[in-house]
Structure formats: C-alpha cells, structure tokens
Structure 1
Amino acid sequence: MAREEKFPRTTELPRQSPLFWVEQKDRYLRQLLIRDIEELTSRRLVIYFGNRFENAQIDAGDCAMMAELLGDVGDQPFDLMLETNGGMTDATEGLISLIKNLATDFRVIVVNAAKSNGTLLGLAARSIVMGATSELGPIEPLVQGIPCTVLTEPQIAQQNFPLHMFGQYALKQTVTLAKTLLSAGMMSDKTPADVDAVVQKLASRDAYFSHGSVIDHKEAAAIGLAVEYLKPDDQLWQRLWLLLCMYEHDCRQSRYLKVFEGRARSTAIAVPIGTPKL
C-alpha cells in the first residue's frame, strides 16, 4: 500500500488568520519543517541562508539578525544550517564571537555550500554536519578580488606596497582566527603542528588551487576536521535537503538576499530595488 501523503497537513487549522497565513505560508511551512528537524535532533535549529544567485555576502548587518535568532534559543544546544558563498572576514569574526558568547554547544550544518568565510565560521563549531552534496572551501581571503597569497609576493610589495601589506594583514587575520578556533574546538586534542597543517592547507594555494575548490565530507574529514556525515537515505538528511530546497525556491522566487530563521523568529532581506538579476 502506498504511503499516505500527509506532510505538511494535520487535522488542525493554522492558528494564524487565513489571510495572514496565506500571505506568509512559505515561512510557516519552513518553520513547521524546522520543528520536525528539531524533534529528530533534540537540538534547536537556526538558519542563515545567503542566496548565491544574488551573490549574498556575510556582512556587518548579520550579527544583529543572528543575535535575534539566538535570543530565542537561550543556552540550549543548537545547530546552525549555513548557506553562504562567504563575505567579509570582520563580519564573520563578529558572528563567531557572538555565537561563542551565547552558546557552549553548536554544530554547523552544510547542506549545499559554506564557502570561504562560511568555512571559517564552520571551524568554530563542535562539528560540521555534511552530506553527499555538501561543500566547504579554502579560507584564504581575497582583497579587491585578488588572493592574499598573491598579494604577499615580493613583486607586489615593489609595485603597490599598501596593497601588499593589506593582503598580509588580511591573511594573518584569517590564519590566526582559524588556528585559535581549531585549537580550542574540534581539534583541541591535536598538537599545534596538526592544527598548523590543516590551516596551511585551507589558507594557502598549496593544496587547493582555486578559491572555489570543493572540499567534500571525505576531504574535510581527511584533513582533520570533525565531520558528521549523513547518508542520502538518512531521515534527518532528507528533511534538511527538503528545507534547503524550500529556501532555494522561495529566495529565488521572492528575490530574497538572505533569510534568518528559526522555529518562531524569521526575517528576510530583499534584494535592493533596481538590482539587475545575475
């Protein structure tokens, strides 16, 4: 007998008024699924979703949004489902500081991609939950679109000394932060040399030759990161994938730049009016 199709229906009507529920049904349906996932994990779940089709970046406004989400979590263990191409290192450091100040037990969940500074944020977590589709990436920063490993070369110092120094300090900021996070977190049982080796791979062109290189779950675990792999048929993974598909569709349809969401709190940032589609 075919499985009866019930999701997301129940015998109860929404507690919101019909008009308001219909206007916000996409959000309400996502939040229903968030609650279902929380029941499976016994952990709270919050979402940072950056629309890659609009080149959404981690920026200085994200801390306030994340603080609002975490205000509903309290001191409970929580998971951060993260989708981002990366962004500003200062803003990423701010997010990490905020999370560290408010939480003692958090994981990062990467269903699709957390690249660049998204990967750096992941290094702050107890572990990174990944599946077959998940991607991390190198954390080497870019300055004016130029890799910092290029800017630190002596030839650049001769041509443009301020840019050279900017690149040096940007790279040092990322490397120092990554080492601190790994040493205090998921690699706390490893030697400083082990931590240095991982950071060297992630923050240079020695192992990954492109800033967009794919680091899948096998590679992430092989280099020493704490990875929790979920198989495609895992019940939790299937729900995480469905939730990702909801965000992908809703953001592209409504042209949301970012969505910050939990089981009870939610806000979306729209693409500025007049911005052409990529």
Structure 2
Amino acid sequence: MAEKELEPVIQQVMTEQNQGHETRKRIFIELEKELKRPVVSFFTSFRFPVMIEDSDADMLEGVLQKMDLSNGLVLFINSPGGDGLAAERIVNVCRSYSETGDYWAIVPSKAKPAATMICFGASKIILGATSELGPIDPQLPMSKNDDMRWFSAYNVVESYDDLFSKAVKEKGNLEPYLQQLERYDEREIKEFRAALSLSEDIAIRTLASGMMKGRSNENISESIKIFLTPERTKTHGRAICGEETSRCGLNIEQKDVTDDFWKLVSRQFSSYT
C-alpha cells in the first residue's frame, strides 16, 4: 500500500485512539441497539500487564448494581489474564446480576488465560477473524535476580517432571541432574500442580453450568483439551481462534472483519488501545 494511501488509515486510528468518553458512549449505544443488551467493557492492559484480580470482581459488581440488566448483558473483554479464582468470581457476578441468568462475551482482540475462563462462563462468545483465546494454564509470578517475571505453571511443572524422570532412569552419574533439580523448590512445584488442577476444575465447572450444560465433566475436559494444556498449541501464548474454538463445542458467533457490527467493535477497541 502506497504511503499516501496509508495516511488516512493512520489518521483514523489515531483519532479513534484519542476519542473521549462521549464518543465511546455513542459507539456503545450503537452496539447495544444491535445486540439488544447492555454492553460493559472489561479491559486490562497488555502493554503494562495488570493481572485480573479479586478487586476487579468487586468493581464490576458495583457497576452492574446500577444497571438495568433485564435483557442480560454483554461483556466487552480484552485482557492478558490473571487470577483464576477472580475469573470464577467475575463469571458468578455476571450471571447473578443478569436477569436472564446469562451473559455474552465479545473479544475484540485477545482474552488470555483467566480472561478465556471468563469467556467460558458466557452463553455465547462473539469473535472476529483475528480474535484470540488461549490456554488456561495459570501464569504465576517468580522472582529472578530481583526481577519479577511471569511463567507458565504447566511449563515449569513439565520441565521439573522431565528432569526428575531422566534422573530416575540414569544409571550412572546423578550429580548433573541433582544440581539442576536443586534449582526447583518442591513446595512451589506442589503449588503449581494445585494451580493447574484448580484452573481445569474452574473451567469445567463453569462450562458444565453454562454453554455445555448436560455434558459430563469427562466429555467437557476432552472437548476443551486444547485449552487445558499448551501441549496442543506448543506454547502458552499461541492463539486459539475461530474454527478451533467451534470444534471444541463452544457456542461461538464468528464475525467477518468486513461486517458492519465488527467494524463498530474494532472502532471501540481502537479507542482503548
């Protein structure tokens, strides 16, 4: 695309990024007319990662208390994730305050681990062609050289188990394996295993009481295997998109990027980023 052709597009994006509250409000009104339900935005930053936490459920509850939710609600969600227990609370808050007993989720861009779990609580997930969900294995904080970093619990546990298995099978010198195993804290590994089990339990229970109601826990677990472990996606951060989500048995409404409704969603998303 020629530089001159790009300029109007860039100008439009910059304009939408600098929109004020009134402009966003107008777009929400248009979205609500289309959906026939009130829309509530729930964003946390990818640029300066802020994890979903328990206080977010309290804030969301405060917002919903003041709204007419007789027709249900739609959660406009974009987040890098956070605490699984907080996600479970948010699902419960949305379902409890919605007078229809359910809610829909719109993912304009990305809803990763705990945010994916919040989407699981919806009765319908609306995705665009580039919208992303992701594996729900927890991201846990670990301090390295006074630097706080986030690690996939699944990858840490798998690395530990692989090393331990090699040490058990080794018939010669165990010293190299023992030195490497010393880097792991067994208490942390137990906590990581518990966190993985908790995430899976929350996801399955949430789906069993919502869009997969009537199916056994075993059936649900098998259906959403791609979300339960990065084994299928090869890495925690890899996107799980439209067709894959539908094959899992989730209730997905797929929107084309040229759809007028999705253009509204994209405009609103641009105003937040």
Q: What is the match of residue 15 of structure 2?
A: none
**C-alpha distance in structure 1 between counterparts of 2:193 and 2:134, whole Å:** 20
Given the alignment, which residue of 127, 134, 155 partners 1:137? 134
Given the alignment, which residue of 209, 213, 218 partners 1:184? 209
Alignment of 1:8-157 (within 5 A): 26-71=20-65, 72-103=67-98, 104-143=101-140, 144=142, 145-149=150-154, 150-151=156-157, 153-154=160-161, 155=164
CA-CA distance at 1:97 after TM superposition: 2.2
**C-alpha distance in structure 1 between counterparts of 2:117 and 2:182, whole Å:** 27
Compute the TM-score of the two structures, normalised by the length of structure 2: 0.76
CA-CA distance at 1:159 after TM superposition: 4.4
The answer to whether the Cα contact below 8 Å between 1:83 and 1:110 also exists between their aligned partners in 2 is yes
Q: Point out the structure with the larger helix share.
A: 2
Question: What SS does structure 1 have at the residue aligned with 2:54?
Answer: coil
Go from structure 1 to structure 2 and tell me whether the alpha carbon gap of 1:219 and 1:60 turns closer, same or farther (over 3 Å shift).
same
Compute the TM-score of the two structures, normalised by the length of structure 1: 0.75
CA-CA distance at 1:69 after TM superposition: 2.1
The answer to whether the Cα contact below 8 Å between 1:75 and 1:102 also exists between their aligned partners in 2 is no
CA-CA distance at 1:113 after TM superposition: 0.5
CA-CA distance at 1:160 after TM superposition: 2.1
**C-alpha distance in structure 1 between counterparts of 2:157 and 2:259, whole Å:** 44
The answer to whether the Cα contact below 8 Å between 1:140 and 1:174 also exists between their aligned partners in 2 is yes
Q: What is the match of residue 227 of structure 1?
A: 252
**C-alpha distance in structure 2 between counterparts of 1:148 and 1:54, whole Å:** 21
**C-alpha distance in structure 1 between counterparts of 2:230 and 2:31, whole Å:** 38
CA-CA distance at 1:32 after TM superposition: 1.1
Percent of aligned pairs sharing the same letter: 22
The answer to whether the Cα contact below 8 Å between 2:224 and 2:248 also exists between their aligned partners in 1 is no
The answer to whether the Cα contact below 8 Å between 1:117 and 1:139 also exists between their aligned partners in 2 is yes
Question: What SS does structure 2 have at the residue aligned with 1:43?
Answer: coil
The answer to whether the Cα contact below 8 Å between 1:49 and 1:83 also exists between their aligned partners in 2 is yes
CA-CA distance at 1:81 after TM superposition: 0.5
Deviations for 1:198-254, whole angstroms, at most 9, x for unmatched residues?
343212133122111111111111222110011122221111111111111xxxxxx
**C-alpha distance in structure 2 between counterparts of 1:220 and 1:114, whole Å:** 13
The answer to whether the Cα contact below 8 Å between 2:64 and 2:97 also exists between their aligned partners in 1 is yes
The answer to whether the Cα contact below 8 Å between 2:84 and 2:202 also exists between their aligned partners in 1 is no
**C-alpha distance in structure 2 between counterparts of 1:187 and 1:35, whole Å:** 31
Q: What is the match of residue 218 of structure 1?
A: 243
The answer to whether the Cα contact below 8 Å between 1:151 and 1:163 also exists between their aligned partners in 2 is no
Go from structure 1 to structure 2 and tell me whether the alpha carbon gap of 1:192 and 1:236 turns closer, same or farther (over 3 Å shift).
same
- Structure 2 counterpart of 1:134, one-letter code: S
The answer to whether the Cα contact below 8 Å between 2:116 and 2:134 also exists between their aligned partners in 1 is yes
**C-alpha distance in structure 2 between counterparts of 1:84 and 1:57, whole Å:** 8
Deviations for 1:50-80, whole angstroms, at most 9, x for unmatched residues?
2211212212221222112212133431110
**C-alpha distance in structure 1 between counterparts of 2:84 and 2:127, whole Å:** 23
The answer to whether the Cα contact below 8 Å between 1:139 and 1:174 also exists between their aligned partners in 2 is yes
Question: What SS does structure 2 have at the residue aligned with 1:46?
Answer: strand
Question: What SS does structure 1 have at the residue aligned with 2:111?
Answer: coil
The answer to whether the Cα contact below 8 Å between 2:76 and 2:108 also exists between their aligned partners in 1 is yes
- Structure 1 counterpart of 2:89, one-letter code: G
Given the alignment, which residue of 169, 172, 186 partners 2:197? 172
